Amino acid sequence: SGEPDLQFRDPEKAEQLTDKLEALMDDIDGRVTIMHVCGSHEQAIAKYGLRSLLPDGLTIRMGPGCPVCVTDMPEVDEAVELAEDGKIVATYGDMLRVPGTEKSLDDAKADGADVRVVYSASEAAEIAEEEDREVVFFATGFETTAAPTAAVLTADPPENFSILSAHKYVPPAMEVVAELPDTDVDGFLAAGHAATITGYGLFEEFVEDYEVPTVVGGFEPIDILFGLAQLLEFIRDDEPGLANAYQRCVTEAGNVPAKEAMWDVFETTTGEWRGIAEIPDANLVLREEYKQYDARERFDIDVDTTSSNPLTEECLCGDIMAGKADPDECELFGEECTPQDPVGACMVSSEGPCKIWLEYGGQP
């Protein structure tokens, strides 16, 4: 129903769990770094001040879990070009202020382009039903939004509808981060909502290959603390295990029809995650059968993927997303870069770590 279940915010339970974390850290007797891979985790951690409850030596870092933040600049440039070329570009509200090389979609809109905010791919398809002009859905996000985009494409959308896919697929990005030499991650707290689609079974191979304990976690304070306790148990036992700490929403197989629709429509390809790396198999593009809905096929989009903006070169967003830096290490944080006038994508989205840290007063 969307109503929070208050038992997952119960202070007494939270205290029991933080005591448990303390005891586990005593047993481990060393430093532990856990990476979460989800903007909603960062939001909850900041909002409830969970970092201040953690025992000494236990650090939680954010990984590449904010889809807006990892959308690459040329992808934004493509959307801007389509909008300036007279197409109606529909996208999620968070995408409007994400800086492109020269302009954001918001800037293009201010200059007269028709850019519309939608809450879903199906809303974008509805706009196409009502309009004669071409409507391009700038499709961003992970599995949680890629599956609904796929559902719209399998339901015979209007002919003047197409998508510009910037959808990304999380597991390969976790592999890249797990391999980064200077990111010492002892365990992953995987994102509960992506796992409602993919199922937690998806992480089995990852855990086997990289030998890092991984726990799928929910988004209430108790869920997160519980997930951390499970991770610390694995770490104490030196066991690269996999657990599902979000059983009320996530199953081993996930949402099979949604998953099947997603893989019917999309396939993976190598793609750039802004500021992090070029990641094999981590971008989702339309399969041959759906190419008629691919804005990149339908229109001649010509963006320069090599140009860059000097100010954004100082942005540490990529390092933050890779778990190598915290937002307040960026010299522009809260000064030249604010939510009203963002330099990097991490300051734009409600899931962006810089915006979250600023909102909750520095180090949350």
Residues forming the site for ligand SF4 (CB under 6 A):
315-317, 320, 327, 330, 332-333, 337, 343-344, 346-347, 354
d(CA 89, CA 112): 12
**CB of residue 335 to ligand SF4, shortest distance in Å:** 8
Asked whether 70 and 64 are in contact (CB, 8 A), the reply is yes
**CB of residue 322 to ligand SF4, shortest distance in Å:** 12
Nearer of residues 74 and 344 to ligand SF4, judged by Cβ? 344
**CB of residue 135 to ligand SF4, shortest distance in Å:** 30
The first and second tokens of residue 221, run together, are 């304070």
Nearer of residues 25 and 317 to ligand SF4, judged by Cβ? 317
Nearer of residues 171 and 318 to ligand SF4, judged by Cβ? 318
Q: What is the DSSP string of 339-361?
A: SSS-SSGGGTSTT-HHHHHHHTT
**CB of residue 139 to ligand SF4, shortest distance in Å:** 23
The first and second tokens of residue 296, run together, are 């990149």
Nearer of residues 125 and 347 to ligand SF4, judged by Cβ? 347
Antiparallel, parallel or unpaired: β 266-273 and 242-245: unpaired
Asked whether 354 and 43 are in contact (CB, 8 A), the reply is no
d(CA 278, CA 172): 11
Sign of CA dihedral 114, 120, 122, 126: negative
What angle is formed at CA 328 by the lines to CA 218 and CA 11, rounded to 5 degrees?
A: 35
Nearer of residues 102 and 297 to ligand SF4, judged by Cβ? 102
**CB of residue 108 to ligand SF4, shortest distance in Å:** 20
d(CA 13, CA 225): 10
315: Cβ contacts below 8 Å, ≥ 6 apart = 275, 330, 332, 337, 343, 344, 346
Nearer of residues 52 and 340 to ligand SF4, judged by Cβ? 340
Using Cβ positions, the residue closest to ligand SF4 within the complex turns out to be: 344
Nearer of residues 97 and 116 to ligand SF4, judged by Cβ? 97
Nearer of residues 29 and 313 to ligand SF4, judged by Cβ? 313
Task: Strand 135-141: give its sheet, edge to edge.
Answer: 115-117, 88-91, 135-141, 161-167
Q: What is the DSSP string of 290-312?
A: GGGGBHHHHS-----SS---GGG
**CB of residue 68 to ligand SF4, shortest distance in Å:** 11
CB atoms within 10 A of CB 309: 13
**CB of residue 340 to ligand SF4, shortest distance in Å:** 12
SS3 170: helix
Nearer of residues 265 and 346 to ligand SF4, judged by Cβ? 346
Please provide residue 188's backbone torsions phi and psi, each rounded to the nearest 5 degrees.
-110, 135
Q: Which amino acid is at 179?
A: E
d(CA 65, CA 177): 11
**CB of residue 341 to ligand SF4, shortest distance in Å:** 10
**CB of residue 173 to ligand SF4, shortest distance in Å:** 18
Nearer of residues 217 and 327 to ligand SF4, judged by Cβ? 327
Q: What is the DSSP letter of 168?
A: B
**CB of residue 325 to ligand SF4, shortest distance in Å:** 8
